[in-house]
């Protein structure tokens, strides 16, 4: 993969195969998520908020990574709280793609009046912890043995970014 200019675009159904492939690659590495297999596009499409899914593409249109968010609750008090996922193709990492995707998510969510973006990160996922810290997320705490992953209880670091402009 080249180091060509990266562009952020709205995720569409045309990106589906590449988005799900990148998701699958991240899942297979074992440190990204409790999920053990990628969803279908229909399942992904139904779950993710339409205005807050973005892809990073190179100059040829190849998808380098994606970010997407879901609502955390249907309670009114939490209407402005979402949880996101961010995945970058293994060959496109460590050159700012993840940071660009998080910046796009912060921008789209703030424009929509969403005040908190959160995520859960395995403590072993150093890359994601650094990425989120750089993007202004803070660590809320560690949820101990919160879920089983391939039969093993795992901790999750809860991180969030509270928008300073939504008051
Ligand atoms: C986590 C992930 C999205 C990071 O994407 P990326 O495009 O490589 O991130 P960036 O290049 O924008 O790096 C952002 C910062 O994190 C740092 N970073 C990235 N990966 C790192 C690693 N493995 N170890 C230490 N620091 C790392 C970068 O150096 C950079 O810091 P800087 O601003 O000081 O230069 C990517 O590694 C990935 O897709 N992993 C698999 C899926 C996953 O774990 N998703 C997150 C689930 S919570």
Name the phi and psi angles at 34, rounded to 5. Answer: -70, -20
- For domain 7-117, give the fold: Aminopeptidase (3.40.630)
Strand 63-71 and strand 53-57: pairing? antiparallel
Q: Which pLDDT belongs to residue 53?
A: 98
Q: Where are the domains of the chain?
A: 7-117
- What's the DSSP call for residue 100? H
Cβ pair 11, 54 in contact under 8 A: yes
Length of the chain: 167
What's the 24 CA to ligand 1 centre distance in angstroms?
Answer: 17
56 touches ligand 1 (CB under 6 Å): no
What's the 19 CA to ligand 1 centre distance in angstroms?
Answer: 17
Query: Looking at residues 133-161, what average pLDDT do you find?
Result: 98
The b-or-e profile of 130-150 (16+ CB within 10 A means b, else e) is ebbeebebeeeeeeeeeeebe
**Percentage of the residues of the chain whose pLDDT score is greater than 70:** 98
Q: What are the Cα distances from residue 9, in Å, to 51, 125, 149, 151?
A: 11, 26, 32, 37
pTM equals 0.97
Residue written as token pair 């890359």: 127
Indicate the pLDDT class of residue 31, thresholds 50, 70 and 90: very high
For helices 126-134 and 97-111, angle between their N-to-C axes, nearest 10 degrees: 50
32 touches ligand 1 (CB under 6 Å): yes
What integer best gives the mean pLDDT of the chain? 96
Q: Which pLDDT belongs to residue 4?
A: 56
94 touches ligand 1 (CB under 6 Å): yes
64 touches ligand 1 (CB under 6 Å): no
Q: pLDDT tens for residues 62-72?
A: 999 999 999 99
Q: What are the Cα distances from residue 162, in Å, to 12, 35, 57, 148, 150?
A: 27, 26, 27, 28, 32
Q: Which pLDDT belongs to residue 1?
A: 47
């Amino acid at each position: 993969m080249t180091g060509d200019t990266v562009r952020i675009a709205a995720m569409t159904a045309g990106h589906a195969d590449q988005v799900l492939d990148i998701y699958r690659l991240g899942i297979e590495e074992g440190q990204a998520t409790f999920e053990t297999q990628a969803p279908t596009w229909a399942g992904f499409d139904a779950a993710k908020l339409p205005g807050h899914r973005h892809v990073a593409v190179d100059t040829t249109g190849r998808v380098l990574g994606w970010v997407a968010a879901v609502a955390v609750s249907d309670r009114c008090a939490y209407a402005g709280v979402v949880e996101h996922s961010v995945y970058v193709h293994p060959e496109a990492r460590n050159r700012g793609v993840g940071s660009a995707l998080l910046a796009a998510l912060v921008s789209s969510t703030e424009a929509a009046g969403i005040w908190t973006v959160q995520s859960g990160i395995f403590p072993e996922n150093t890359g994601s912890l650094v990425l989120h810290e750089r993007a202004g997320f803070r660590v809320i705490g560690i949820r101990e043995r919160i879920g089983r992953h391939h039969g093993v209880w795992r901790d999750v670091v809860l991180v969030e970014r509270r928008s300073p402009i939504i008051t």
